[in-house]
């Protein structure tokens, strides 16, 4: 007995699935002054950046009422840091003295 053959998923079907995942993720990420960052969406979905930018720039994307726009400039790709730990000299740990 052979397994039933499934219909192959077309690229259009996959794009629609990714679009639905992005729309769902936008409802779950933090919104600041009506703006959502692409980095927050990426963390929530793990969709590749170039595909994510393509989906976010499409006119058929449905945004929630509390979201006015999506910031597509990534801070991670440019190396900008947020309020993370300061990078400086490493702290010295206590030394053993005889």
pLDDT of res. 30: 93
Q: Could you tell me the pTM of the whole model?
A: 0.66
Strand partners, 35: 32, 69
Structure tokens belonging to residue 7: 């219909």
Structure tokens belonging to residue 55: 């989906």
Q: What is the pLDDT along the chain (98 residues), one digit of tens a residue?
A: 566 667 788 988 999 999 999 999 999 999 999 999 999 999 999 888 899 999 998 888 899 999 999 998 887 655 555 555 556 666 666 667 66
59 with 70: CB under 8 angstroms?
A: no
Q: What span, in angstroms and rounded, lies between the C-alpha atoms of 25 and 85?
A: 27
Structure tokens belonging to residue 15: 């794009």
Give tens-digit pLDDT for 42-62: 999 988 889 999 999 888 889
Instruction: Report domain extents, the chain.
Output: 11-77
**Tally of CA atoms within 13 A in the half-sphere of 38 that contains its CB:** 19
């Amino acid at each position: 007995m052979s397994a039933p053959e499934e219909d192959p998923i077309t690229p259009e079907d996959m794009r629609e699935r990714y679009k639905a995942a992005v729309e769902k993720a936008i409802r779950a990420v933090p919104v600041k002054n009506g703006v959502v960052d692409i980095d927050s969406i990426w963390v929530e979905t793990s969709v590749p950046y170039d595909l994510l930018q393509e989906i976010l720039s499409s006119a058929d994307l449905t945004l929630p009422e509390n979201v006015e726009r999506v910031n597509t400039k990534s801070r991670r790709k440019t190396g900008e840091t947020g309020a993370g730990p300061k990078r400086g000299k490493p702290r010295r740990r206590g030394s053993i003295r005889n």
